[in-house]
Amino acid sequence: MDYLLLTIILLLGALSGTVIWWMLRNETRIRLLQIDLAADRVELRSGLSRMETTIEMMNLSSEALLQTNPENQGTIAIHKVLKKIETQMSVGLSDSNTAISTAKELNSAIRMLLKSVDLNGDISKNQTQLQPGALNLTDRLFSLLILMKIEPVSLGLNTLEYAKLGELLYRCGHLDWSKYCYQEAIHKSSGHIASLQSLTHLAKLEGNLELQLGCIEKMLHHDPDNTELLRSHASLIMQSGKNEEKAERDVLRLEAMGMDTPADQSLLSGLRSRAGSPYEVIERLEKILSEEPERFEDWLLKAEMHVEIDELENALTSVEEAIRHNRQFGKAWALKAKLLANNSLRHEDALRSARHAVALNSGGTELILLKANLVALEEGELSASETLQTELEKNPSNDELRAHMADLLRQSGNLEDALQLLDLATEQTSRIHISRARVELMIADRRRDGTGENDESYITIAKKSFENAIELDRESGIAWLGIARCHRSLKNYDLAKEALDRSSRLLDGEPIVYAEASLLALDNGDMIEANRLIEAASVTLENTALISYLRGNLASMSGNFSAARNYYDDVLEIHDPLHVRARLNRINVSIVLGLYDRAMDDCRVLLEQSPNLTLAKCRMADIFMLIANWNEAKSLWQDILEVNGNHPHALTQLAACYISLGNPDQAESPLNKAIRLDSSFSPAWHNRGLLYLEWGEEDAAIQDFETTIKIDPEHIDAQLHLASIHHSAGRWKKAAQFWRAVLDIDSDNDIARKRLGHCETQISITTN
């Protein structure tokens, strides 16, 4: 028990000692911490004192800055308002009342900003320097206006405020809003010059001639004697090309005030030249140039006036003066080239001028083509072709030049290269489609075989190209004219007339329209109208291939075959040896006139030019049949049928060859096929009737001859055969009917008249 007590006493003593030691240690730590805290408090007081001193110094500096730059007070105030609005906008507007309040604050900020800047709103003059930050604030204002969908008209500013806001927005690059602000300023005060001048400046930047004219006219209303405004107004009217008498009044007013200059007189001369008074213009220009001879543009205008009145030498002298004062004046070089091109002794000089003009990008495609023509005269066609190719490579998007080059290839018969050139165009324009259609029409001419189906397919391709051109340009008279020709070739005469009427309205008075109309009249059998139209076209196109061709067609349809051949001679021997239709027509005329050798020569020429022209082979085979060379004819018809086995005319003529060669058994099959292919092809029915006569099958022959007459009532051979059959069989009434039909077609047919008399006698005897 004593040991236990002693142990407890010892433990309690140790514990007490430990606690005492711990407490003494913590006391020491707390004392040290108190010392550190006291030091920190001292340091904190020192820092706060320094901060107070710094803030006080900053306040003093701010006050000093605001005292020395009081305008910054407004900028700071605007910034505070904008910052507040931007914060509100970032969290969204809670209700309409807040939105209205924000809009009012924004309007207040705008007015504060406008008061803080020293501007008059005129952006057309030197712009004054703005205080720093003004443009940044304007950008922020603009962003908020766009975000809140506020329009200028809703701002409720006065005239000067709108003008000042317009200038600020202009300097920030917001041109549309700047224009709206100036328009509002003018709406509030129509005579506010600064706004009118600024709006004129903005209209000039966007190329709005109408707006520029409107502003200048308003300024002239308030200041009618302002010389600069009068000059600007006249110049703008000249650019617009409208109401040019106003421009003339402006210059005359300057002249009356004694404030006109040579430039003003030059402008007036230009106006007078447009009005068609070249003598007066020349007189004025001579006065101007006597005072300022270096005015090269006026020398050119004087030259143009001399050209109008056919004073070509004076024009050349004037244009050379223009070049002497400015050798880089491309328009003058272009006019000189045109003037000299008509003089065969000065083609070399004309070529030099054309080269200068083209090098200076003047005269457009017209000068490029003139240059090529002159190169052809001086250096040959190959060099001319290279010239055009070089120019096209420089500007591959020049569709006018590309189309012209394709037309040249077409006229030379190089159709594949023409199509390839058109296919390489950077853009398939209306002009390119028209040029392609012309090539395709020539291809149709060269591949005709006399069958409607085959010929129609080629013409339809060309018609599609013309339609493509019209889709791009509904007002293309040439494209409508091409559509008219295609419909005429397809025998769609009503559609051809409709397209021709459209073309006539767009190409009023153009001879090419009269020419196409005359062809349509010929196809409709109206030779009087055709003759009238040909005469109308010949006023401008006399001594051309087209007029000779038209007159040849008219003479042929009128039965004057000798005259027709002479006209076709003019086309082929003088103007265009590649004219396929004229040569085909000359072949037909030669056959009628019995000039078989000449017709055969034309067939050979056509086949050399166009080996795929089956129609030329048809004509050659027809000629062989006319001269009874049946074997050659048969061989040609067989060649044609190898190319196109569904050729009714070739099948019919092949059968005729078999009959003439004593092989009638081989004739029936091609005749039956021809009738199946085209049941309205009267020669096939007629030839099969002849075959049945050859076989003694009179009833079958009569049936085929009657079918022939149903298809073609003017088929005199079928009428003769029926008349003869019935006459021989003693069927006098039927025979008389057909003899009369023959006489209706050919009143000079003596055999028909005699046989009809015989029939009438027999009928009389029988009746009695």
- Could you give the 3-state DSSP secondary structure of residue 380? coil
Closest CA to 458 of 477, 469, 445, 467: 445
Query: In sequence order, which ranges of 190-277 are alpha helices (DSSP H)?
Result: 193-205, 209-222, 227-240, 244-257, 262-274
pLDDT-derived band of residue 66, with 50, 70 and 90 as boundaries?
Answer: very low
Sign of CA dihedral 178, 183, 184, 188: positive
Closest CA to 637 of 674, 610, 601, 605: 674
Write out pLDDT tens, residues 666-706.
999 999 999 999 999 999 999 999 999 888 899 999 999 99
- For residue 741, which phi and psi values (nearest 5 degrees)? -60, -40
Residue in this structure with the two tokens 């291809």, named with its chain if needed = 443
Taking residues 61-88, report their average pLDDT: 58
Kindly state whether residues 160 and 101 are assigned to the same domain.
yes
Q: Identify which has the larger pLDDT, 517 or 115.
A: 517
Taking residues 83-109, report their average pLDDT: 64
Residue in this structure with the two tokens 């030379």, named with its chain if needed = 412
Kindly state whether residues 203 and 106 are assigned to the same domain.
yes
Kindly state whether residues 32 and 105 are assigned to the same domain.
no
Q: Which of 195, 210, 225 is the last residue of a domain?
A: 210
pLDDT-derived band of residue 768, with 50, 70 and 90 as boundaries?
Answer: low
Least trusted range by pLDDT, from 38-52, 73-87, 420-434: 73-87
CA distance linking residue 112 with residue 77, whole number of Å: 8
CA distance linking residue 240 with residue 234, whole number of Å: 10
Q: Identify which has the larger pLDDT, 629 or 29.
A: 629
Dihedral of the alpha carbons of 342, 346, 352, 356, in degrees to the nearest 10: -40
Q: Identify which has the larger pLDDT, 135 or 665.
A: 665
> What percentage of residues in the chain have a pLDDT greater than 90?
38
Give the per-residue pLDDT at 55: 66
pLDDT exceeds cutoff 90 at 584: yes
Residue in this structure with the two tokens 């005749």, named with its chain if needed = 671
Q: Which of 181, 210, 239 is the last residue of a domain?
A: 210
Per the document, the length of the chain is 768
Six-digit token string for 455: 């010929």
CA distance linking residue 678 with residue 694, whole number of Å: 23
pLDDT-derived band of residue 450, with 50, 70 and 90 as boundaries?
Answer: confident
Kindly state whether residues 115 and 27 are assigned to the same domain.
no
Domain that holds residue 27: 1-50
Q: Could you tell me if residue 14 is inside a domain?
A: yes
pLDDT exceeds cutoff 80 at 114: no
CA distance linking residue 109 with residue 90, whole number of Å: 18
pLDDT-derived band of residue 115, with 50, 70 and 90 as boundaries?
Answer: confident
pLDDT-derived band of residue 39, with 50, 70 and 90 as boundaries?
Answer: confident
Give the per-residue pLDDT at 228: 67
Burial (CB < 10 A; 0-12, 13-18, 19+), residue 416, is: exposed
Q: What is the domain count for the chain? A: 3
Kindly state whether residues 102 and 40 are assigned to the same domain.
no
Mean pLDDT, rounded, of the chain: 83
Q: Could you tell me if residue 106 is inside a domain?
A: yes
Six-digit token string for 191: 């005579």
Q: Which of 174, 193, 210 is the last residue of a domain?
A: 210
Least trusted range by pLDDT, from 28-32, 266-270, 279-283, 732-736: 266-270
Give the per-residue pLDDT at 762: 86
Q: CA neighbours within 13 Å on the CB side: how many for 26?
A: 6
Taking residues 45-57, report their average pLDDT: 72
pLDDT-derived band of residue 275, with 50, 70 and 90 as boundaries?
Answer: very low
Give the per-residue pLDDT at 719: 92
Closest CA to 482 of 502, 501, 463, 460: 463
Give the per-residue pLDDT at 123: 79
Give the per-residue pLDDT at 263: 55
Give the per-residue pLDDT at 171: 80
Q: How far is CA 537 from CA 482, 541, 546, in A?
A: 17, 6, 9
CA distance linking residue 567 with residue 154, whole number of Å: 79
Q: Could you tell me if residue 161 is inside a domain?
A: yes
pLDDT exceeds cutoff 90 at 257: no
Burial (CB < 10 A; 0-12, 13-18, 19+), residue 529, is: middle
The identity of residue 750, as a single letter, is D
Dihedral of the alpha carbons of 36, 40, 46, 51, in degrees to the nearest 10: 170
CA distance linking residue 146 with residue 540, whole number of Å: 64
Kindly state whether residues 115 and 195 are assigned to the same domain.
yes
DSSP per-residue string spanning 166-205: HHHHHHHT-HHHHHHHHHHHHHH-TT-HHHHHHHHHHHHH
CB distance 625 to 650 below 8 Å: no
Residue in this structure with the two tokens 């039909």, named with its chain if needed = 741
Least trusted range by pLDDT, from 40-54, 186-200, 429-443, 473-487: 40-54
pLDDT exceeds cutoff 80 at 560: yes
Closest CA to 650 of 677, 667, 674: 674
pLDDT-derived band of residue 606, with 50, 70 and 90 as boundaries?
Answer: very high
Q: Could you tell me if residue 148 is inside a domain?
A: yes
CA distance linking residue 70 with residue 81, whole number of Å: 18
Q: Could you tell me if residue 215 is inside a domain?
A: no
CA 708, chain centre distance (Å): 52
Query: CB within 8 A of 688, min separation 6: which ones?
Result: 655, 668, 671, 672, 675, 704
Residue in this structure with the two tokens 């002159």, named with its chain if needed = 374
pLDDT-derived band of residue 236, with 50, 70 and 90 as boundaries?
Answer: low
Give the per-residue pLDDT at 94: 47
pLDDT exceeds cutoff 70 at 93: no
pLDDT-derived band of residue 144, with 50, 70 and 90 as boundaries?
Answer: confident
Give the per-residue pLDDT at 401: 92
Give the per-residue pLDDT at 382: 85
Least trusted range by pLDDT, from 368-377, 450-459, 647-656: 450-459
Give the per-residue pLDDT at 722: 93
Taking residues 523-531, report their average pLDDT: 92
Taking residues 632-659, report their average pLDDT: 93
pLDDT-derived band of residue 419, with 50, 70 and 90 as boundaries?
Answer: very high
- For residue 41, which phi and psi values (nearest 5 degrees)? -65, -40
Q: How far is CA 161 from CA 72, 114, 647, 650, in A?
A: 20, 7, 87, 91
Give the per-residue pLDDT at 565: 96
Give the per-residue pLDDT at 50: 75
CA distance linking residue 117 with residue 141, whole number of Å: 15
Kindly state whether residues 191 and 102 are assigned to the same domain.
yes
Q: Could you tell me if residue 4 is inside a domain?
A: yes
Kindly state whether residues 204 and 114 are assigned to the same domain.
yes
Give the per-residue pLDDT at 32: 81
pLDDT exceeds cutoff 80 at 465: yes
What element of type H or E holds 72? helix 72-91
Closest CA to 707 of 676, 684, 724: 684
pLDDT-derived band of residue 456, with 50, 70 and 90 as boundaries?
Answer: confident
Give the per-residue pLDDT at 87: 67
pLDDT exceeds cutoff 80 at 103: no
Q: Could you tell me if residue 174 is inside a domain?
A: yes
Kindly state whether residues 34 and 117 are assigned to the same domain.
no
Write out pLDDT tens, residues 705-736.
999 999 999 999 999 999 999 999 889 999 89
CA distance linking residue 264 with residue 61, whole number of Å: 62
Taking residues 29-47, report their average pLDDT: 78
Strand ranges (E), 37-138? none
pLDDT exceeds cutoff 70 at 211: yes
The identity of residue 164, as a single letter, is K
Beta carbons within 10 angstroms of residue 537's beta carbon:
23
Query: In sequence order, which ranges of 610-715 are alpha helices (DSSP H)?
Result: 614-626, 630-643, 648-660, 668-677, 682-695, 698-711
> What percentage of residues in the chain have a pLDDT greater than 70?
83
The identity of residue 10, as a single letter, is L
Q: How far is CA 503 from CA 466, 476, 519, 556, 581, in A?
A: 12, 8, 15, 27, 23
CB distance 422 to 586 below 8 Å: no
Kindly state whether residues 119 and 173 are assigned to the same domain.
yes
Give the per-residue pLDDT at 425: 92
Give the per-residue pLDDT at 557: 92
Give the per-residue pLDDT at 463: 94
pLDDT exceeds cutoff 80 at 57: no
- Could you give the 3-state DSSP secondary structure of residue 509? coil
pLDDT-derived band of residue 154, with 50, 70 and 90 as boundaries?
Answer: confident
Least trusted range by pLDDT, from 164-173, 188-197, 260-269, 740-749: 260-269
pLDDT exceeds cutoff 70 at 662: yes
Kindly state whether residues 106 and 190 are assigned to the same domain.
yes
Burial (CB < 10 A; 0-12, 13-18, 19+), residue 532, is: middle
Q: Identify which has the larger pLDDT, 396 or 129.
A: 396
pLDDT exceeds cutoff 50 at 420: yes
Kindly state whether residues 104 and 200 are assigned to the same domain.
yes
CB distance 309 to 278 below 8 Å: yes
Taking residues 469-487, report their average pLDDT: 94
Q: Could you tell me if residue 182 is inside a domain?
A: yes
